[in-house]
Structure 1
Amino acid sequence: MTLYLKEEEVGSLLDMQTVLEAVEQVMAAHGRGETIDFPRQRVRLPKTMTHLLQGGVPSLNLSGFKVYTTAGGHNRFWVHLFDASTGDPVAVIEADRLGMMRTGAAAGVAARWLSRPESRVVGVFGSGWQAQGQILALCAVRPVERFKVFARNQERLRSFCEQMSSETGCDVVPAASAEETVRDSDIVVTITTSPKPLFDADWLSPGTHINAGGSNSLARQELSEAAVRRADVICVDSREVAVREAGDLMPLLEKGRTQPGRWVELGEVVAGVRPGRTSGDQITLFESQGMGIQDIAVAARVVERALERGLGTALPY
């Protein structure tokens, strides 16, 4: 049977702890060389764009892909899973919430391994859909007491802070400026579509961890060259993906001021293949572009729970 799962069903089956566990496990497998992942491909047409991430996770006996379309300011997401032994289709899953939680979980795993354990104050740039996942994940991995959130739309910002305060029990408050967002923050999150840097590198304190999640194309750059240069550790999902998509790293890469060999992959850190943070004063940076294997790992948990609870619709193939 091939299962089709709708957004509302997926939402009822996912929680952040489960997503964190799935992402951490698949990234460790990636660090040990036990997965296959291909960088995102894009088809650009005059009015639409189609994006494809694909890979395989032998330990789950699954291969698959996530596809999403962009048109008129709207995105639509699906994950397709296949049995890696037989090639049979396993599931088709509507994946807007799944992708949001997976993106947040990747940053949460990075914070678990790279930020200081005592991190309690977080500065967040962005108050959209993806920012929700970032806050939920950080609450799950660190004893965060306060989030300072900065965004251009003040009305949406206030509503976002109220919603996330209620949902997490943490103090989520609007920040008055970009500088206030960064100053004295243990963790700084950027999750926007900005084409230019969001803050001054001098505002970063020693020991800060940065989760940069918005710059997944060469048209976006949330961090300045100076901010990247301040990072003692640069961590990426995948070097192969980062050299194609990490808009924050491209300026330095093109000038020869950084090389992919200097970057550690998140899976390598989780698997113990390469070190991450080695001292409390280091500034660490995680550049997140997303990987198909992360979506596959989370989707596998969704299907497992759906079958247990009798959710979903059987497709005729």
Structure 2
Amino acid sequence: MAIFLDESQVTELLDMESCIAALDDAFRDKGEGSATILPRRRLPFQGRRFHIMAASMLRTGYLGYKAYGASPGQDVMLYRAGEGIVAFLRGGTLGQIRTGAASGLATKYMARSDAAHLGCFGAGRQAETQMLAIARVRDLRSIHVYCRDAQRRRAFADRMTSLLEQEVRPVDTPAEAVRGRDIVVTITTSSDPVFDGNLLEPGTHINAAGGNVRINREIDEVAVTRAGTIAVDDMNAARLECGDLMWPIERGMLAWERVHELGRIVAGLMPGRRTEDEITLFESQGIALEDVAAASVVYERAIERGMGTPLPF
């Protein structure tokens, strides 16, 4: 019998460390060819957009889809081979955690092992889980955060200082979130680049995680073309949605042949970085593989603890 899990139950059952581990397995499977995805599809609906995306994981037997946009919130439907639907989950918190976990995973495999100075663009709920995830995979010694609203960035810095139990410093300019940083995260709603790519230090790793619309860019062509290793969560999704890459590719500054899937790096089929001075870039569009992998963790823990509302199917 399938179960329903609400936002509070998902929050209780899914922690960042377990989500990163689940995504590690899922992306390794994708790199080895045993996990597949259907990129996000956007359907017009009453003046808005209905979004749906799906994934299957052959090794674990889980598959499912996420849908959102036609009503408030996000929903994840989880299936297991031979059983059918096993869980219906509210997907807001799950989506927030898995997006952070994807950046944490990319940082684990692509950032320098001694990377310790983080700069973050964005001060919303998604920025929170970006920081929490990166702090799980690197021993951070300093953290800077920038967004255009000074009051919001100060409040965010105070909250994250408490959560991380170390100082998160709000900075007044974009340059201060890039200079002297060896990890830079962008998790904004901006349609234009949020910093000057010339400011990047050699050896920096970038997680560009805020954009999934082809006309939007969070990082400029300088940042993109300075990167030696560029990874995406899925090539087909990137070709549909990644404005950061499409802009320089359409202008002949970059070729898709230079872009690789994160799964190949996680599976050990190629290195995440080639030198200590190389700039590396992970472009995160957000794919359903992350939702299904995270949802499977939540579901299995719910069954172990006897949680969830039984559904009549």
- Same fold, judged at TM 0.5 (above): yes
1:79 is aligned, of 64, 76, 79, to 76
The 5 A counterparts of 1:1-317 are 1-69=1-69, 75-86=72-83, 88-317=84-313
Provide the C-alpha distance between the structure 2 equivalents of 1:234 and 1:181, rounded to a whole number of angstroms: 21
Provide the C-alpha distance between the structure 1 equivalents of 2:61 and 2:28, rounded to a whole number of angstroms: 16
Provide the C-alpha distance between the structure 2 equivalents of 1:313 and 1:227, rounded to a whole number of angstroms: 48
Out of 299-308 and 75-84, give the one that drifted further. 75-84
Provide the C-alpha distance between the structure 2 equivalents of 1:44 and 1:153, rounded to a whole number of angstroms: 32
How many residues were matched structurally? 313
Root-mean-square deviation (Å)? 1.2
Moved over 3 A (4+): none
Q: Quick one: which amino acid aligns to residue 283 of structure 2? A: E
Provide the C-alpha distance between the structure 2 equivalents of 1:46 and 1:195, rounded to a whole number of angstroms: 24
Provide the C-alpha distance between the structure 2 equivalents of 1:57 and 1:220, rounded to a whole number of angstroms: 30
Distance 1:70 1:145, change over 3 A: farther
Out of 188-197 and 260-269, give the one that drifted further. 260-269
Displacement of 1:46 in angstroms is 4.5
Provide the C-alpha distance between the structure 2 equivalents of 1:85 and 1:256, rounded to a whole number of angstroms: 48
Displacement of 1:255 in angstroms is 2.1
Displacement of 1:44 in angstroms is 2.3
Provide the C-alpha distance between the structure 1 equivalents of 2:133 and 2:219, rounded to a whole number of angstroms: 22
Displacement of 1:24 in angstroms is 0.8
Provide the C-alpha distance between the structure 1 equivalents of 2:147 and 2:96, rounded to a whole number of angstroms: 18
Displacement of 1:70 in angstroms is 6.2
Q: Quick one: which amino acid aligns to residue 286 of structure 1? A: F
Q: Which runs of 5+ in 1 are unaligned?
A: none
Q: Quick one: which amino acid aligns to residue 31 of structure 2? A: G
Displacement of 1:45 in angstroms is 3.1
Indicate if the aligned counterparts of 1:196 and 1:220 stay in contact, CA closer than 8 A. Answer: yes
Partner secondary structure for residue 42 of structure 1: strand
Displacement of 1:155 in angstroms is 2.0
> What percentage of aligned pairs have identical amino acids?
41
Out of 254-263 and 88-97, give the one that drifted further. 254-263
Partner secondary structure for residue 59 of structure 1: coil
Provide the C-alpha distance between the structure 2 equivalents of 1:27 and 1:180, rounded to a whole number of angstroms: 33
Q: TM-score, normalised by structure 1?
A: 0.96
Q: TM-score, normalised by structure 2?
A: 0.97
Provide the C-alpha distance between the structure 2 equivalents of 1:58 and 1:245, rounded to a whole number of angstroms: 26
Provide the C-alpha distance between the structure 1 equivalents of 2:272 and 2:138, rounded to a whole number of angstroms: 17
Indicate if the aligned counterparts of 2:121 and 2:147 stay in contact, CA closer than 8 A. Answer: yes
Partner secondary structure for residue 183 of structure 1: coil
Provide the C-alpha distance between the structure 2 equivalents of 1:286 and 1:47, rounded to a whole number of angstroms: 32
Displacement of 1:117 in angstroms is 1.0
Indicate if the aligned counterparts of 1:54 and 1:293 stay in contact, CA closer than 8 A. Answer: yes
Provide the C-alpha distance between the structure 2 equivalents of 1:68 and 1:165, rounded to a whole number of angstroms: 32
Provide the C-alpha distance between the structure 2 equivalents of 1:218 and 1:117, rounded to a whole number of angstroms: 32
Indicate if the aligned counterparts of 2:45 and 2:70 stay in contact, CA closer than 8 A. Answer: no
